[in-house]
Amino acid sequence: MALQSTPSAEAAILKEKVFKNLLYIGIFSIMMLFAGLTSAYIVSQADLKGRAFVLPEMFWYSTGIILLSSATMNLAVQSVKRNKFEAVKIGLIATFILGIIFGFFQYFGWIELYNAGIVFAGKESFAPGSFVYVMSGLHVAHIVSGLAYILVVMPNTLKNKYNSANQAPIKLCGLYWHFLDILWVYLFVFLLVIR
């Protein structure tokens, strides 16, 4: 005899599918935004005006930080599946802190760019340099939205409300965060190669 799921379980599964599909639509939209920006950056290379620039050292550090944050988010996602409540909390809190550190490193990277004469706007600006600010700045804005998402799930995480039977919010948070990590690695490698 096959087990039948309860209406509440079916509703939870449907709700998770709806939220996952909405997240996928959001991720696709973000991908299209950055695809357009990277394409425009390639076209803007004609405006280099004989100027070449090196990516800020802080961008290297921020890349390491965001990769580490991916590992801590993975800890949270894997732990919720095993009902390891303390590990879920540690993973989310560590990811949140690393996300903030990532933002600070990006800011210090912008200061490095500015001090190297690569300004966002004005007479001294040039399109490729401005695009570095725009792309990294928009990525930081999406990191802030990821941090907000962590803050939304944190109260219930602290109350141990997420577990192997109710893990969708943590899984979706992890999916979005890993996407942001991959997006930054793509942008960083892209900017290293196309200069």
pLDDT at position 6 is 56
Give me the pLDDT at residue 182, please.
97
Angle between helices 127-158 and 168-193 (to 10 degrees): 160
Distances (CA, A) of 26 to 29, 30, 131, 176: 5, 6, 22, 9
Sequence ranges of the domains in the chain: 55-193
- Give the pLDDT of residue 84: 95
Question: Along the 195 residues of the chain, how does pLDDT read in single tens digits?
Answer: 444 555 566 776 777 788 888 999 999 999 999 999 999 988 887 666 556 678 899 999 999 999 999 999 999 999 999 999 999 999 999 999 999 999 999 999 999 999 988 888 888 777 788 889 999 999 999 999 999 999 999 999 999 999 988 899 999 999 999 999 999 999 999 999 886
Task: Please report the pLDDT score of residue 7 as a whole number.
Answer: 57
Tell me how far apart the terminal alpha carbons of the chain are, to the nearest angstrom: 64
CATH, domain 55-193, list 3.60.110.10, 1.20.120.80, 3.40.50.1000, 1.10.3720.10: 1.20.120.80
Q: What was the pLDDT predicted at 15?
A: 78
pLDDT of residue 16: 77
Sign of the Cα torsion 137, 143, 147, 153 reads positive
Q: Which residue has the tokens 């599909």?
A: 21
HEC secondary structure over 39-77: HHHHHHHHHCCCCCCCCCHHHHHHHHHHHHHHHHHHHHH
Nearest partner of 164 among 80, 41, 42, 102, judged by Cα: 80
Q: What is the predicted pLDDT for the residue at 9? A: 64
Query: Using a CB cutoff of 8 Å and minimum separation of 24, what contacts does 162-169 make?
Result: 162/80, 162/88, 163/80, 163/83, 163/85, 164/80, 164/81, 164/82, 164/83, 166/12, 167/77, 167/80, 167/81, 168/12, 168/15, 168/16, 168/19, 168/20
